[in-house]
């Protein structure tokens, strides 16, 4: 074990706390290794040196696969060394083999926090408190500092959505680079923008309720009513409508009920009690 405060051995008992929960605070690089693996021994000092270089921006967690076989199997480890990077509670990237230091550093630079990210975090907070103008000023500063930071476009999409420019927000989201398109923040914003666009293109909510009372099989009314629920923050009400739609009419808009539920799950995040409850109901309805 390297003598570094940023390199730590983890077991199945400590993995969730150190890696899964810890990755919400900073990226965690998980090194799956074994004593008999010569490339593993070559890679170890490189990872320890980089952990020291980044000075706490990164934690290296080492998993001895001979002692933690179940943990290795859970994360699909089939060759050694395999190194997985965890952020926000999940693995987001990996590499296999003893890469040279420049390639490992390049791998890490794609994921480690940048100075401009601090400005983006502040812009997010301003946007959430109803100050899109202040958020836009911080975006300009972030672009001047780090024009290559693709996350700038993601915050710009949020600003456009907050201003009611749903088409502009969608265009930005559609143009995100592939490595950012599946980011939880991007997925959540796509869901919000999609439902907001549907709600904006729908009849008044009272009209939809009347249509549904007159004909419970009116799938279009039910789907659009779910969009109103999302826009107003009533996610449970939206999930109820979409679950009913999925049960009644899987053919409507190519299974829009199930797909709509998945969009809300992505919007709320896997830690939500609503997601756990309605995912179970969705699966029961499917099978």
Residues annotated as catalytic (active site), given as ranges:
37, 40
Cβ contacts of residue 197 below 8 Å, gap of 6+? 166, 167, 170
Cβ contacts of residue 161 below 8 Å, gap of 6+? 169, 189, 192, 193, 196
DSSP bridge partners of 62: 9, 31
Nearest to 238 by CA among 248, 225, 226: 226
Nearest to 198 by CA among 230, 158, 227, 168: 227
Provide φ and ψ at 106, rounded to 5°.
Answer: -60, -40
Tokens 């939809």 correspond to 208
Q: What element of type H or E holds 92?
A: strand 90-96
């Amino acid at each position: 074990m390297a003598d570094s405060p940023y390199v730590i051995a983890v077991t199945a008992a400590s993995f969730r706390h150190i890696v899964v929960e810890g990755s919400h605070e900073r990226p965690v690089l998980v090194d799956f290794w074994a004593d008999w693996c010569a490339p593993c021994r070559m890679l170890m000092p490189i990872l320890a040196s980089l952990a020291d270089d980044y000075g706490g921006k990164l934690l290296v967690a080492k998993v001895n696969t001979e002692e933690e076989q179940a943990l290795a199997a859970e994360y699909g480890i089939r060759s050694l060394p395999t190194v997985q990077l965890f952020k926000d509670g999940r693995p987001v990237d990996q590499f296999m083999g003893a890469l040279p230091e420049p390639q490992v550093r390049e791998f890490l630079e794609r994921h480690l926090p940048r100075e401009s990210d601090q400005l983006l975090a502040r812009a997010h907070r301003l946007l959430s408190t109803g100050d899109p103008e202040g958020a836009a000023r911080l975006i300009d500063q972030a672009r001047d500092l780090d024009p290559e930071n693709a996350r700038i476009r993601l915050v710009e999409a949020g600003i456009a959505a907050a201003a009611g420019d749903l088409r502009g927000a969608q265009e930005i989201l559609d143009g995100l680079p592939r490595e950012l398109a599946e980011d939880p923040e991007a997925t959540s914003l796509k869901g919000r923008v999609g439902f907001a666009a549907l709600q904006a293109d729908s009849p008044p909510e009272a009209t939809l309720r009347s249509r549904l009372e007159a004909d419970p099989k009116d799938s279009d009314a039910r789907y659009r009513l779910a969009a109103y629920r999302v826009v107003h923050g009533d996610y449970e009400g939206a999930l109820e409508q979409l679950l009913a739609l999925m049960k009644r009419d899987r053919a409507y808009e190519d299974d829009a009920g199930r797909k709509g539920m998945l969009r809300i799950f992505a919007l709320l995040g896997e830690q939500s009690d609503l997601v756990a409850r309605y995912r179970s109901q969705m699966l029961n309805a499917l099978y």
